Amino acid sequence: MNWQAVAGRFTPPARLAVIGDPIGHSRSPQMHNPALQACGIDAQYIRVQVPVGRVAEAFRQFAQCGFLGVNITIPHKFEALDAVDVLDPLARQLGAVNTLAIRDGKLHGYNTDGPGFLRSVKEAFGADVQDLRVLILGAGGGAGRAVAVQSALSGCQKLMLVNRSQAKAEAVADEIRTLRCCPDVTVVAWDDAALREALADTDLIVNATSLGMKAGDA
């Protein structure tokens, strides 16, 4: 990667970015740059494609180039977990990092997926997750796992995990059961009949799959 070219796309003082692989689909710059401008914050936010296996290198380069922070999306949230110097307790518990803050030369990893999910449900539906039966599609990925763990920690009534790789969903379910926060944690097979049966017992469906990232997804 040409990090000088990345750094050269900015005018100091503040530099921010989102990374992923792919990353062209991300609308984060269109959202964050107007928000920064509206708040009077002198900063710029761009997309940077980082290949799998090079997240730790990217984080070091971001720090050297004077970046303040980075958002992390598919498929780097698990890899980022091991690439930070200081890991927030909630990020450790959720098992993924989606936010990097660079302070005093140290890489600080956080996860906002879980708290953001709770806030979104409250704002959109006026509901608390603790009152709901939750079904998560794509429960084996970074965001899906975080939402699943956060739902359990919030004491949801029932948690149903669906993933194309059932083994990954089972692994997440086993971890959540050890928390003893949710009375009913089950894995639902990725097929029409099983999903129809589960949906009849569901209050909230969460799509944490990658569907929609590619042109032609429907």
Q: What is the SS3 assignment for 182?
A: coil
pLDDT tier at 142, thresholds 50, 70, 90: confident
Catalytic site residue 158?
Answer: no
Q: How confident is the model at residue 14 (pLDDT cuts 50, 70, 90)?
A: confident
Q: Is 176 exposed, middle or buried (0-12, 13-18, 19+ CB in 10 A)?
A: buried
Statement to judge: residues 10 and 97 lie in one domain: yes
Whether 77 and 131 map to the same domain: the answer is no
Q: Strands across the sheet with 204-207, in order?
A: 185-188, 158-162, 133-137, 204-207
Position 213 scores a pLDDT of: 64
User: Are residues 92 and 67 located together in one domain of the fold?
Assistant: yes
pLDDT at residue 210, rounded to an integer: 78
Look at residue 180 in the predicted model and tell me its pLDDT. Answer: 92
**H or E segment to which residue 4 belongs:** helix 3-7
Is position 172 within any domain? yes
Region 99-115: what's the mean pLDDT? 96
Asked if 60 and 127 sit in the same domain, the reply is no
Catalytic position from the list 77, 158, 168, 214: 77
Residue 39 lies in a domain: yes
- The mean pLDDT of 112-118, rounded to a whole number, is 95
Mean confidence (pLDDT) of the chain? 92
Average pLDDT over residues 80-107: 96
When mean pLDDT is compared across 137-146, 152-161, 168-177, 204-213, the lowest value belongs to 204-213
- Range(s) of the domain holding residue 64: 3-111
Whether 158 and 191 share a structural domain: yes
Coil, strand or helix: which one is 11? Answer: coil
141 pLDDT higher than 90:
no
| 21 CB neighbour count, 10 Å cutoff | 16
117: left (phi over 0), alpha (psi -120 to 50) or beta: alpha
pLDDT tens-digit readout, 16-63: 999 999 999 899 999 999 999 999 999 999 999 999 999 999 999 999
Cα 157 to Cα 151: distance, rounded to the nearest angstrom = 9
Are residue 42 and residue 119 in the same domain, yes or no?
no
Domains: count for the chain: 2
Task: Assess whether 120 and 62 both reside in one domain.
Answer: no
